Structure 1
Amino acid sequence: MAGNSQRRGAMRKAGTKKGAVKGTGGQKSKGLEGKGPTPKATARPGHPAARKATAAANRAETQRRQQKKAATAPETVAGRNPVVECLRAGVPATALYVALGIDTDERVVESVRLAGDRGISVLEVARGELDRITGGAMHQGLGLQVPPYEYAHPDELLDAAEQSGQQPLLVALDGVTDPRNLGAVIRSAAAFGAQGVLLPQRRSAGMTAVAWRTSAGTAARMPIAIATNLTRTLKEWAEQGLMIVGLDADADIVVDDLELATGPLIVVVGSEGRGLSRLVRETCDQTVSIPMSAGVESLNASVAAGVVLAEVARRRRIAGRV
């Protein structure tokens, strides 16, 4: 039959030829089109690199959610010494947890008394429940619940400084991650007449119970704000007429020659390890160092802040008497 026969000279039906087709080189036109560059391994579904990238993104998102939750959740201070120290320092608290059947000592008695005097709820709970509340920490039968700290807005710090009746003096921290250093800086700021403390949103200690305790209660009287972008906030304050002085161990000017002390001032303190970040250093109108004896590389951030703030307060007292 024509078109199906294998005989020599038989006719094939049109469109059924399996060989080369005229003008296509034997291939369909789409077969000649390129498919573009090969995607990166992380963009290929099912590729090991893509699976790793997806897992990393999921971990980062989980961590972000946990940090956000932790920032809005109350903190529980565990242990007899930390609890009684927080209560002595006037750290704001909402509840004191006492494990049932614990052996009482003077710290337990004092903690219960201080909590009662301040109107803080004293709750007796089972030891297992206190284990859960404190996250398995060594609580020794005591736990103190501290609510999240309510930060001010940077504009509120500037308003408080302008309404204080004194020359504005604000303290900004750049990369100070130890809450004990933060608490000590707040204490020094309050002692030497500063009107507020500014923290960056990232890479900084926050107002935890440890910071509260180290500040010896002065955090209750000192407004503390968080800047989304520290450099930008400092520039905005500079436009309002404040001068910016940064602590830098390599600065040629020593704190003894700080002529800017008597005017509107922002003192910026960097971390003990790396000091000021590049952008913050470039924003400063002046950087100063603290002269030290040979063999001492650097001071603790809170100690350095106290030295500079004390010099600022001294110069302002002298200027006030002139």
Structure 2
Amino acid sequence: MLSFEHESLTQRVVFSSGGAAARVRAEVERLGASRVMVIAAAAEAELAQAVTADLSVVLRWDEVVMHVPVEVAERARTAAAAHRADLLLSVGGGSTTGLAKAIALTSGLPILAVPTTYAGSEATSVWGLTEQARKTTGFDARVLPRSVVYDATLTVSLPVPMSVASGLNALAHCVDAMWGPRVDPIDRALAGEGIRALAAGLPAVVADPVGLPGREQALYGTYLSAVAFSSAGSGLHHKICHVLGGRYDLPHAQTHAVVLPHVLAFNAPAAPEAEQRIAAAFGADSAIEGLQRLRRDVDAPQALRDYGVKETEMDDAVQAVLDVVPDRNPRPVTAGDLQRLLSAAWRGADPRLTSNEEENRR
């Protein structure tokens, strides 16, 4: 019998290419805000200025750091209070949205998010903070942006390699949602459509970086991936990436892009229904074949060693990951499993060969 519980998030989404400034202004007015704190990294300052030029901005904050260190969050919280901000407007990627969430977590201030990457944080109630090389995440309704303005023209300046890594991060949300601890049929339906859109959009972005059709599909898939992930909960893939990112300050999107195929190859044999859905979304015979075909077509990041982490550090991370493995992962996870998986991701080994070798050992 079909039986499940699903809770939909309350959020307004405005999706249209071009005219972001007018749409942002309309959302600020709708939210009744008059003292806006704009959060945008220095690299996004010009774009953020263009999007927010007509607003009553009381503070522009550009201290944005990957993985949201607690000390950075505290400084931003203090500044928001001192300037009596009544709305947090984030313009940028996941780190920017993440900082806005950190402020909202303690202040309750509403967030209006304007994404410029495919991170997906704008459509989740997930927050994350890093302290002493440990990243902590949680769910809280206060951090879900009230409104999101998606405009594909704002992503055109994102370089193709970063677009690919960011898009694969979004795809990881879809895959993890297929077997997250709270997954239901609605989550899987959203995740499947998200995979289809991203698999169509990312190669189009590579082929035509300034064209909008591919970037629109990537943004659409990103939104679906985030909604599915926020509902289903964090699976094995995200637990691994959060540990690695927090401990070794690895680049967020690239870490997800590298680790994803190894987790998919590990979990898929124990989750046949999810595996079939993923394969169908890719239009492939198997989930891992579909993912690897996409990764080849977009020249995806290959190995964790390319980002400065040492092989010995993979062994050091095993226990930290083991401590946070979700109870409802499709298959049991041992320290040996994680050591092999992380080693393969560090080397950039073919996950299909690694998975076959593991099965032969069992």
Q: Which TM-score applies when normalising by structure 2?
A: 0.26
Q: Please state which structure has a larger fraction of its residues in helix.
A: 2
Q: Which TM-score applies when normalising by structure 1?
A: 0.28
Higher Cα radius of gyration: 1
